[in-house]
Structure 1
Amino acid sequence: MADIYRRCGCRDGAGKAYGPLPDRATQTQRAAACPVLISDSKHGSWGFAVSGGTHAGSGKRVQVRKMGFTTKREAQQERAKVVDQLATGRYKGDQKVTLGVYLPSWLDRRLLDGLRPSTGHQYRAYLENDIIPALGAVKLSELRKSHVDRFIQTLRAEGRGATTIRRIHATLSSALSAAERLDLVDFNAAAKIALPAASKTKAKIWEPEQVRTFLDAAALVRVGPLYELTIYTGLRRGEVAGLRWADVDFTKRELVVRQQRVQVGKVVLEGAVKTDSGQDRRVSLGSEAVAALLAWKLRQQQEHDAWGAAYQDNGWVFTYEDGRPLIPEYISRTFDTLVTKTGLPHMSFHKLRHEHASLLLSGGVDIAVVSKRLGHSTIAVTSDLYSHLLTDANRAAADAAEAMLPPRRGVAHTSHTLDA
């Protein structure tokens, strides 16, 4: 077929569609075309055909045909665009794939590329419960900022929290950024969308006296040493659940965080810890933390003896009576029950990590050390989370700097001398 041609919807006496009429038609092509096309230059519409390159997915030769142009010039101009896009690898074709089809495949690819299963679980929930129901029918190539903005406004009208909305938006934006990198779309339609401001909330935790009350109560339950260790080390729930005896060195009084056990729905997965800086980090242990672990080790040995051959000894530190590792959700659920019984203000298990940071900062420990113990990706993360706890540390630093100087030899400053 020629590059530029006219065509109509007419049929011959046998009901067969007429062929196209190329711009420079041969005698044979003129004979196969609609007679009206030959006699009336306004009959039918203009179109073009371009062949070139291969499809990135199928490897098949790309054949582009488009009709419906009013004039020959319009067809020529559009053809020139397509030729340029094919030559530079920017041709996207007549995409029919919708967000409902693209988004799950994007997430599956992310998981194959190493996205944490727990993060993938949260992304999938956002896709299935929020994004796809609202935007799934929209073609990927036709998604515009107005669609995304309307979606965000709907979430706000439904009363969704600012943090949740920002997380949903981040999921969509990440997927569209991937589409942009792959030249599936020309731009990320979720970029530069106005989002509700997420207010930074201070970590509300117990006072030291309340921590002691909790620890006294925890001493009366089987897994009390787990909560004691968490307060004294700041380990995440998954890190405590993933701790093995091989990672504990009583001689050096330290433990190494090598893996975590996280719960995705009802499935528990083992893997690397949350951040690269948190992976294989060494956390020193104080006397009470060591004592808690030794007491737990003794109890675990007694349970091992009681269960005999039925005991599942796989080297985990915190286990059920039969040696099976504790399910992360069990750790949180037991903690909530214990807090309720003590009558203390409600606090999530994760806040024990904040409790550890608070104790360190109140004790004047450098924030860089705190950040390293917690396994934060940067000191900035630690500072943002605990800036409200740094006032006393800053004041102590100011006093310490002045204390390093020898006594003043002249007259000390007074309010009178300052006013002079």
Structure 2
Amino acid sequence: MKKQLKGRKRKLAKDKWELIVNLGYNPETKIYERRYRTFFGNDRESDAALRDFIYELENPELIASQEPLKEYLGRWYEDYYLPNHEQTSSKRAERIIKNNINPYIGHIPIGELTTDHVQILYDTLFKEGKIRRRKGEDGKTATIKSPLSPRTIKYVHTILSQSLNHAVNRDKITDNPCKDAIPPKDKEAAPEKWVVLSALELKTFLEDDRCKLHRDYALIHTAAHSGARQSELLGLTKDRILWINSAIRIEQSLHKDDDREDGFEHRPRTKNRRSTRTVKMSAKAMDVLADYIKKQEEADIVSNLVFTEPDGRPIARNNLATRFSNLAAKLGYPEMTFHHLRHTHATLLLADGAYINDVSKRLGHATPAITLNVYAHCLPQGDDVLVQKFDNLLK
């Protein structure tokens, strides 16, 4: 049985650490031996680096560059990727490693991995990287292979490149073999077709009895009047309704997470720094919220979440999407999604002359540039109007 080594770390300066591993007593030298390494990074990263250091010293027969890619990726994912990413991103990265990397090149030592290996991986995935298994009428399982999308292969490239960059930075390999490998280009996707309602159409939509009697009416009405993201509204809590100020405070979001007891993750943060915001609401919108919460209390629904299922459980976005699509179809908009309420809100404001920066803040975009890029076509002033305005200034 191999001797398990123990280590510790000592902070030298901000983001600078000394890693120390005790090798134990050496009877030949008659001293207690230690190994030292300097590491640059934050506290959590230094813990992972110390584990790496101990692993290398416990396995002297396994030269770092001879470690199979599969084993290296497993430790890199657990120690570096998982602690620094959201649950949704981590799950996807885990699937990519398990299904699209390890079965093909996981056995290759990282020191022997070449650009050719990586390029062949991308080419193989592009030809037959999507694997499905189906049972035939004879009861036997057949394996069906089809091309993996360029978009997914690009994500494979991102995960593999990030992990091997880490190996370069830790002196496990000298160069990243992904550097010169080229994933297939994704064909330019057709622009998403939005269903954006006019002010009159939205008013008619919200005042239709089929909408007003719908179980999600208050949620739909709030989305149309706030422009907030679906996950932000599903995560909205009652203590974040600012009744005196006629506003809602967006500070968290709700996401599906099958690993949790209730099946949901309440993230105490939003998509970006500017996404945490206060959104002013109309008196009508606040009245709808007040009426909805009153009905919840009368039905003895106990939940701090504003919008819930009739039994008080959080609303799953897939269920909401289905219910809204069915409602929209009945009202004459079969292609409309819940997210289109956000697009409608922004488009109506911009078309009416609202400042791009004000709309950007209201939507919670990271920068006004994002708002401009998404909604440039909605701005009322085209080149002809601008030319006429400039000409008028000179008259």
| 8 Å CA contact 1:364, 1:393 repeated in 2 | no
Indicate which of 88, 91, 106 corresponds to 2:76: 106
Give, as a single letter, the amino acid of the residue that structure 1 aligns with 2:167.
A
Is it true that 1:249 corresponds to 2:238 in the alignment? no
Gaps of 5+ in 2: 1-34, 38-51, 128-145
User: 5 Å matches for 1:48-67?
Assistant: 56-58=53-55, 60=57
CA 1:106 to 1:244, structure 2 compared with 1: closer, same or farther past 3 Å? Answer: same
Please say which structure displays the higher CA radius of gyration: 1
Indicate which of 346, 354, 357 corresponds to 2:346: 357
**Which residue number corresponds to residue 148 of structure 1?**
118
Is it true that 1:136 corresponds to 2:106 in the alignment? yes
Indicate which of 199, 207, 230 corresponds to 2:188: 199
| 8 Å CA contact 1:149, 1:194 repeated in 2 | yes
In structure 1, what is the Cα distance between the partners aligned to 2:96 and 2:258? 14
**Which residue number corresponds to residue 259 of structure 1?**
252
In structure 2, what is the Cα distance between the partners aligned to 1:389 and 1:350? 17
In structure 2, what is the Cα distance between the partners aligned to 1:129 and 1:341? 41
C-alpha deviations, 1:107-165, integer Å up to 9, x for none? 22245533111111222222222222232222222222222222222333343333333
> Aligned with 1:95: secondary structure?
helix
**Which residue number corresponds to residue 363 of structure 2?**
374
> Aligned with 2:65: secondary structure?
coil
Shift of 1:202: 3.2
Give, as a single letter, the amino acid of the residue that structure 2 aligns with 1:334.
R
Indicate which of 209, 221, 225 corresponds to 2:218: 225
Shift of 1:259: 1.0
RMSD: 3.2
CA 1:361 to 1:168, structure 2 compared with 1: closer, same or farther past 3 Å? Answer: farther
**Which residue number corresponds to residue 236 of structure 1?**
229
| 8 Å CA contact 1:239, 1:273 repeated in 2 | no
CA 1:203 to 1:228, structure 2 compared with 1: closer, same or farther past 3 Å? Answer: farther
**Which residue number corresponds to residue 95 of structure 2?**
125
CA 1:303 to 1:402, structure 2 compared with 1: closer, same or farther past 3 Å? Answer: farther
| 8 Å CA contact 1:98, 1:139 repeated in 2 | yes
In structure 1, what is the Cα distance between the partners aligned to 2:192 and 2:88? 23
C-alpha deviations, 1:64-123, integer Å up to 9, x for none? 9xxxxxxxxxxxxxxxxxxxxxxxxxxx93533222222233222245533111111222
> Aligned with 2:156: secondary structure?
helix
Give, as a single letter, the amino acid of the residue that structure 2 aligns with 1:237.
Q
In structure 2, what is the Cα distance between the partners aligned to 1:285 and 1:101? 53
In structure 1, what is the Cα distance between the partners aligned to 2:58 and 2:310? 64
**Which residue number corresponds to residue 287 of structure 2?**
291
| 8 Å CA contact 1:361, 1:367 repeated in 2 | yes
Structure 1 or 2: larger strand share? 2
In structure 1, what is the Cα distance between the partners aligned to 2:287 and 2:385? 33
User: Identity of counterpart residues, as a percentage?
Assistant: 26
**Which residue number corresponds to residue 320 of structure 2?**
331
| 8 Å CA contact 2:275, 2:363 repeated in 1 | no
| TM-score computed with the length of structure 1 as normaliser | 0.66
C-alpha deviations, 1:173-196, integer Å up to 9, x for none? 222222222222222322353341
In structure 1, what is the Cα distance between the partners aligned to 2:337 and 2:59? 57
In structure 2, what is the Cα distance between the partners aligned to 1:244 and 1:403? 52
